[in-house]
Copies of this chain bind each other. A is one copy, B any other.
């Protein structure tokens, strides 16, 4: 039985091996001053732990663990396998990746192991075995943290061989493979498994990585294979750990916005708890991190760990403005509002060297605590100490789901189609924003999730519809579900072969329409649609729709297709399906969703939210926690609904006016 977190963690990455041991006690004193209760260690210590092959030295790590334990810190224990020592590259060059340009790399960087290198696999599992044996019984270790931020891809000979095996296993026969990849185009027919080559710039791919390919089926399969190859490394490490420590939860930290190379939905089932590194860029609208947190929570429909976040500035953006007063706490609590059960930072102590030395930390280069940043961190620590026990383990309930699917992510952006401006994540975000702005709780689900839990399922640009999915959608709507889809949907099967008979392919039935042709709009060009007698701008592309059985909600008001259907609504069984044939601007989409939300009956948490973000988590004993966040610099008014509530962060009565970046966690 896997354990769960016993307290709300407030902490983050700590790399004491970058410092002399004498400094550690002072560090811990400062951490406690900010009410930290946790540290993540041993992320990148391989070179220290194993100075040469087979020789292990855990003495330094033992000492760190002891000091943190003495201070009653919960430890998130890394396995240290994400950056390999220099000696290892020298001895086993094949542990390094071959890049998209076809070049074998050498020692340097991190996250650059070939997942199919037997040498890497062996050295990796040997280290983890030693660690697991050594620390399995330590009660202070509350989570095992495997490797770090898995990602990227490799195009070496080992990968090529493993890919051929993977394909043989998937397709069984070359006939099936040739059909799946439609290989009679351009004389691509394969007659022997070993004729298959990896899709990098020397073969069938070109352009910036994962953007252009001759054979989409091949390139998408390669991404599936690479994601699985890394997943296998995770599973290998996890299995080793479980041998010695079956109860402590094991995770690896997901990351990015989101990460295109890793199918997190496929990985989720192997994670005991989801953990996520959150680094919204300075110019990201607040609904973008909200979306990502909802995605992380939805992976297992459980609270997740906010494994990394920045105490103040990061160092890797084009521009990293300071977080404004209050902004740090607001951005951390936004994660909690969407389901995080920890607040953890990268990092606890700022490094003096390395490429991240200007990334902020709890202990900054100044090593002072009389700073704005430290005061805000300590204040948040105080609040979490207060409210953490209540929040821990509370759940989120959503009646709306948005479909996000990695196979679609890959295939959609590979499309060599009528416009270059296809962007999967941005397309999804447009729709997510509709629910965010209405404070309607939303899950972000995969195509294999159960739709029947939701009143409304929105699947924008559902370009790839794998076998069975259309039937599942039909059945969901038939039974009373509500379904929204858009242009560029229902176009291809799981290996990117087009469905014949008219777009949107197998979604024609539920939507009750077919699309004869689609116009492309140059960047900046606008076409108007007319809906309810008002006009709205659209861009990107315009589907010219035949609304066979469907009702027309909007028609084009420009171009030779003026009057042609642009948005339709179809009654199907007990439910309804909408088809949005163009990229509506925010104003038009809001107008459309006013209608759709009304039709489906899904409810906002609070009706007039005064531009505040509001989420709800419910504790095991049924207490409703409303997270009310002012994700802006301006002052805003608390909705009337909360007038008698109490803020569990402070134990005080709800404030009726919220300054910029104020957050309240309100309960009755």
Tell me whether B105 and A358 are in contact (CB under 8 A): no
Tell me whether B502 and A365 are in contact (CB under 8 A): yes
A318 within 8 A of B: yes
A317-332: contact bitstring with B at CB < 8 Å (1 yes, 0 no)?
A: 0111110110000000
Tell me whether A187 and B47 are in contact (CB under 8 A): yes
Within 8 A of B (CB), among A352-395: 352-358, 365-368, 371-373
How many chain A residues have a CB neighbour from B under 8 Å?
Answer: 112
A415 within 8 A of B: yes
A85 to B521 Cα, complex, angstroms: 38
Interface centre among A320, A353, A366, A518 (most CB of B within 10 A): A353
Known contacts A182-B18, A417-B358; A197/B108 CB under 8 A = yes
Tell me whether A322 and B519 are in contact (CB under 8 A): yes
Within 8 A of B (CB), among A187-236: 187-192, 194-197, 199, 201-206, 212-217
A51 within 8 A of B: yes
In-complex Cβ contact of A202 among B104, B316, B499 (8 A): B104
A103 within 8 A of B: yes
A94-130: contact bitstring with B at CB < 8 Å (1 yes, 0 no)?
A: 0000000111111111100000000000000000000
Residues of B within 8 A of A517 (CB): 312-313, 322, 371-373
In-complex Cβ contact of A189 among B48, B105, B495 (8 A): B48
A7-28: contact bitstring with B at CB < 8 Å (1 yes, 0 no)?
A: 0000000010110000000000
Tell me whether A498 and B185 are in contact (CB under 8 A): no
Tell me whether A503 and B48 are in contact (CB under 8 A): no
A648 to B509 Cα, complex, angstroms: 45
Residues of B within 8 A of A320 (CB): 417-419, 520
Known contacts A418-B313, A418-B319, A519-B321; A108/B352 CB under 8 A = no
Tell me whether A197 and B352 are in contact (CB under 8 A): no
Tell me whether A187 and B110 are in contact (CB under 8 A): yes
Tell me whether B187 and A315 are in contact (CB under 8 A): no
Tell me whether B418 and A315 are in contact (CB under 8 A): yes
Tell me whether B502 and A366 are in contact (CB under 8 A): yes
A262 to B209 Cα, complex, angstroms: 29
Query: What's the minimum C-beta distance from A174 to chain B, rounded to whole angstroms?
Result: 11
Q: Which chain B residue lies CB-closest to A354?
A: B185
Residues of B within 8 A of A501 (CB): 365-367
Query: What's the minimum C-beta distance from A320 to chain B, rounded to whole angstroms?
Result: 4
Query: What's the minimum C-beta distance from A116 to chain B, rounded to whole angstroms?
Result: 18
Residues of B within 8 A of A643 (CB): none
Known contacts A45-B187, A108-B214, A197-B107; A503/B365 CB under 8 A = yes
A665 to B53 Cα, complex, angstroms: 73
Within 8 A of B (CB), among A14-73: 15, 17-18, 44-48, 51-52
A184 within 8 A of B: yes
Query: What's the minimum C-beta distance from A413 to chain B, rounded to whole angstroms?
Result: 14
In-complex Cβ contact of A85 among B105, B189, B197, B496 (8 A): B189
A84 within 8 A of B: yes
Copies in the complex: 3
A497 within 8 A of B: yes
A517 to B52 Cα, complex, angstroms: 41
Residues of B within 8 A of A154 (CB): none
Within 8 A of B (CB), among A597-617: none
A654 within 8 A of B: no
Interface centre among A87, A181, A503 (most CB of B within 10 A): A87
Residues of B within 8 A of A185 (CB): 15, 18, 44, 351, 353-354, 356
Residues of B within 8 A of A495 (CB): 353
Known contacts A315-B418, A354-B186; A366/B108 CB under 8 A = no
Tell me whether B86 and A196 are in contact (CB under 8 A): yes
Residues of B within 8 A of A213 (CB): 355
Tell me whether B417 and A315 are in contact (CB under 8 A): yes
Tell me whether B18 and A194 are in contact (CB under 8 A): no
Tell me whether A353 and B181 are in contact (CB under 8 A): yes
A134 within 8 A of B: no
Tell me whether B106 and A197 are in contact (CB under 8 A): yes
A420 within 8 A of B: yes
Known contacts A184-B48, A188-B86, A353-B217; A108/B419 CB under 8 A = no
Known contacts A312-B517, A501-B367, A521-B321; A86/B189 CB under 8 A = yes
Tell me whether A187 and B44 are in contact (CB under 8 A): yes
Tell me whether A189 and B47 are in contact (CB under 8 A): yes
Tell me whether A498 and B214 are in contact (CB under 8 A): no
Tell me whether A85 and B187 are in contact (CB under 8 A): yes
A356 to B356 Cα, complex, angstroms: 43
A521 to B320 Cα, complex, angstroms: 8
Tell me whether A182 and B353 are in contact (CB under 8 A): yes
26 A–B contacts from the bound complex (CB under 8 Å): A44-B186, A47-B183, A47-B187, A83-B186, A83-B188, A87-B195, A105-B202, A105-B203, A106-B197, A107-B197, A108-B199, A108-B203, A108-B204, A108-B205, A108-B214, A182-B353, A313-B517, A315-B416, A319-B521, A319-B522, A319-B523, A321-B519, A353-B497, A355-B416, A365-B498, A366-B500
Task: List residues of A whose CB falls within 8 A of some B CB.
Answer: 15, 17-18, 44-48, 51-52, 80, 83-87, 89-90, 101-110, 181-192, 194-197, 199, 201-206, 212-217, 282-283, 312-313, 315-316, 318-322, 324-325, 350-358, 365-368, 371-373, 415-421, 495-503, 514, 516-523, 560
Query: Which 10 A-B residue pairs are closest in the complex by CB-CB distance?
Result: A182-B353, A185-B354, A108-B204, A108-B203, A86-B195, A83-B187, A47-B189, A366-B502, A47-B187, A358-B417
